[in-house]
Structure 1
Amino acid sequence: MHYLNKPALIILFLLVSSFLHAQNIVRVKSTLQQEYFGNNVYLYQDTSNKLNFEKISKSPALFKASKLAVPNLGISPFNNWIKFRLVNDSEFDKVILDIPNPIIDEADLYTINGQHIDSIKNSNYEPLRNREYNHQFYLLNISLKKGDTVDCYLRLKSNQQIMAPLSLKTAKTIVPEISNTDTRTGIYLGIMLVMLLYNLFIYFTTKDRDYIVYCHYIFWVALTQMSLTGYSHRFLWTDNLWLSKNMVIFCGAMSGLATIMFAKSFLHTRQIVRKLDIALNVTVGLYTIALILLFTGNGVIAFQVVNLNAAIVSILIMIVAFAVYRKKQASAKFFLISWSIFFTSILIFVFKDYNIVPYNLFTVHSVEIGSALEAIFLSFALANKINILKGEKEASQAERLLALQENARIIREQNVVLETKVNERTHELNESLHDLKQAQSQLVESEKMASLGQLTAGIAHEINNPINFVTSNINPLKRDVEMILEVMSTIENVSQSDASDADKRQKIADYKEEIDFDYLVVEIRHLIKGIHEGASRTAEIVKGLKIFSRLDEDDLKKTDINEGMESTLIIANNLLNSNIKVITEYGGLPLVECYAGKLNQVFLNILSNAIYAVNKQFGNNPGGEIKISTANDGENVVITITDNGTGMSEEAKKKIFEPFFTTKEVGEGTGLGMSIAYNTIKKHNGQILLNSVLGEGTEFVLKIPIVHDIKAAS
């Protein structure tokens, strides 16, 4: 409380005393009544927000008399001034000015008692504990003695609707009134809390979405009423200035959104009344705009948008509920009743703000009464919905039971016919299965013959070269041997002649020079070396063939994978040409427990496909390359075969291991090679991985366990 003892102000009030004597007087009597004395005050709205108490007190002509017991100052961002005079006809030395409107943001009181000026400043921008009375209502002390006359100037400001219910109380009478207000609000919040917890329990029991949406709705409606009555500021966010100032607007928007969500969910507006559902979505947009305005500092406009949209939503939901009810939706009945009650309470509350109905205890708390009744009736609506759904479910179950019984009869009748057809079909399938097995055997044999043909061609090609080398050296060697025999005969004849030793030596030397004996010896040695190399190469090929086929090894044996790969290259050598470069990088591998002949067949199938892809990519041009590498990762040997051929499409990669799938031309492949390779690697508990890019090449990675697990293979 501040004391403004300024001589200038005293002179000012003496100058305007004639005007003050002309105004209506509020008399303080021994028995204070609770009537509002708003019709005995004068009002002025400062649209400039620049006039302070000193300037206002100098301008009595600005004020106009109020005609209402509870002045309605509207919604504006301006300062609103209320002027009135108190005359104390009682024994009290202090009275309390009671303004039970907690959504007013600022309430400053200036009092003039003779030459003494007091001021009291209260606002929602500071904690309630800083006020003289720790309550959300504005309770302002006015000191005066019996017979005193006090002139009062009250400044009110808010970004929401300002209703100014002014009344005088004493410390004795204000306590029970506040207690009664707290009790009424406590009963209301208790009802809403019970409804919230009850319906939340039902939600966890039934998992019906409508219940959780309804709980969301109850929460925001209750929080809105707490904000309107000031209890949220008093108990929840007393130290948060922004919330204290703006939560009425925010909660109003959120409760409106929750109302729309519940109506849409409960009434199934999207399925039943599509056009009205779109209209509800538009109102959601308006609430969103209001929230944006609020968060950007336009609280007054936001409050107006929320109020306008609330009126639209209230009417629109009434129309929606009625439309849904007319479409024979029984669950809409209780909703329509409950919303009608709530809608009526909103109308009463709004009419009170516009002086259509009197401002009293009932109209002030009409929304609380209406929302509590609505919460109860909506709970009935949700319960009724469950009963309706239960009835529909029982009817559906009865229909389903009849359908099941009818189906059982049909099934019994059809079983006889079906059994006969099954027997006939089984006989046909047995015959087809026999034919299929024969076809399968023929296909497998065909693949074996194709592989055998490829193997035979490889062997013939590889053995033919060294054998030709041997046979081509036989005739020259035979001729040279005969010439050697002739030389020996000639030397024998010369040695037995009567010529001197010198003549004999000369004749022999001349003869050797004549037949070029030294060249003859060199040629014989060369021919013998060629025959030896051909025979060795043939023996090596036969050894490679034995390693490749493993004809003597039908069981699991420990095998050198590198040796098997080399034997496969020997067999596949006939498919290679001089334009394809083969690069081998063999790592140090342990002996692997495997079916060697079957693995060699896998290598041959992959190499054959690689050679085919490279030839198709490069033709007779150089640049083709096949790279073979082996490695050991501790548990597996890893064989990588890479080519830079045509590569595969995504579709081909997905089907490469399917039986009968081939990318070769008709007659060039059976389509079983890679399928057999896949099954062979699987039989070894290994993996066959494929990486291929169309137009760039293909990479096969084979992982084969070093130790074969027979149980895993089975």
Structure 2
Amino acid sequence: MKGKEPIFLPLYLGSEKSVVARTGRDNMLSGIYMGIVLIMVFYNLFIYFSVKDRSYIYYVVYVLFAGLTQFGLKGYNFQYLWPGDGAFDTLSVTLFGAIGGLAALLFTRNFLELKKRHSRFNILILTFSAFFILSILAVCAGFTTEAFKAMQITTSISSVGVFCISIILMLKGYRGAKFFFYAWSVLLAGAVIFLLKDYGLLPYNTFTSYSVQGASAIEMALLSFGLADRINILKREKEMSQAEALRVAKENERIIREQNVLLEQKVHERTLELQDANEELNATLEDLKQAQSQLVESEKMASLGQLTAGIAHEINNPVNFVSSNVNPLRRDIDLLLDAMAAIEKVALSEAGSGEKEKEIESIKEDLDFDYLKVEITHLLKGIHEGASRTAEIVKGLRIFSRVDEDDLKKADVTAGLESTLVIINNLTSNKIAVIRKFSDLPAIECYPGKLNQVFLNILTNAVHAVVKKFGERPGGKITISTHCDNTHVYVTIADNGTGMDDHVKRKIFEPFFTTKDVGEGTGLGMSIAYNTIGKHNGDIIVESTLGEGTRFVLQLPITHKS
């Protein structure tokens, strides 16, 4: 045995039986260690293919090459894997150690989320990784001794560095750092015991000889537990998110139910108050009942359910306007009937015509007849305006919530857009300027209800983006324009809101992806819009600049082709 530095070579003296027993024990312990390594490799490799988390592949590479390094130090690689290839075996320990160290650092960086949590630690880990890469290149270039020294120094310093990083992150409350702290504590303890044995401070026995392998096995298990704990954390976060979504859905259902009950009570109250109104008012009340039924059926639409409160507010205003005029009108009519009865009494009396005329004028003067006529006219005009506005809202609701949405039929795209704007009027009024640039469009073959839902989803997102940018300040704007050619109708919806970056723009059509806070959106609106446009054999184009706004272009064929 010869080398450039002092060599510590353990010698055993004993009978053949004792040497064979010791050798067998060494082989058994090494076999157990390698078995642990292989179990960790295949188990976590299987999990990687299931969850696609890069932490697992880094961990598998680290465990595999750490095990090969330890096996190489014992001579098993040369004995079993490449017998007779002494040249490769000479450099394999350095090469495998450097690869294992590099994989360990990448695993640490990814598992502890250093890029997101602490940029300085991330740079430190990348620096250590660069030294391991240089060691690998030096081995490949033939500088085995220099590469081994660089690998040893880098391993020692990076191990202490990772240990210190885990302590800092653990003190900051990051749960995953605890596993790193315990794992590296065990590994460093095993390395210290091994070194103390080499320098004669501890006895050379089975425990000290296998302290590194034993500590390495424990470290691998602890890191594997850390990965498993990470899955549990992600699972709990997913369950919490699902529970929150369920809670929001139930809350929306409760709000819709309460609003429907309130709306039903309001309709009933107004019906009783307007029984003496004219035929037009009765027809309007009938339309309100139909609107109520349509709103009850529309509970299945989550987006319309979120806007129920706004719709009730829109309907409530004109109805309140009508009901506030009914009582004054009834009072004036009662006064008018009393006056007519008094005039009739005077007309049937036996007084002279001149005296009758004076008494009638006196009655009219006491009644302020001219003002009464003006007031009655004004009240009737107010009732008519309230009824017309209510009818307009009900018409918009009826067009939007089409009961024939599953039937392919010809429909007016402009009417669908107008009805959708009625639905979201409560969100845009007095805050956002809505600019209409509608062209004359032919009726297209489509699913009207589903197409209206697409308009609602895009416009609701536009309102959210504008409000997020402008708040209560003026300047928010949504522009809706249409045009057509011989084969297609084009609907463009543009806003000057927050806009999107390329990352968000690539993901907006994915189910459950949303940039809104929890409870504000389900992340299904744009996915539904994309699928609906696809069902129409159309196309949807998105153009957006962060901070400037977003533009959606819907391309719909005039004739639907199956």
Normalised-by-shorter TM-score class: 0.3 to 0.5
**What is the TM-score with the length of structure 1 in the denominator?**
0.37
**What is the TM-score with the length of structure 2 in the denominator?**
0.47
Structure with larger Rg: 1
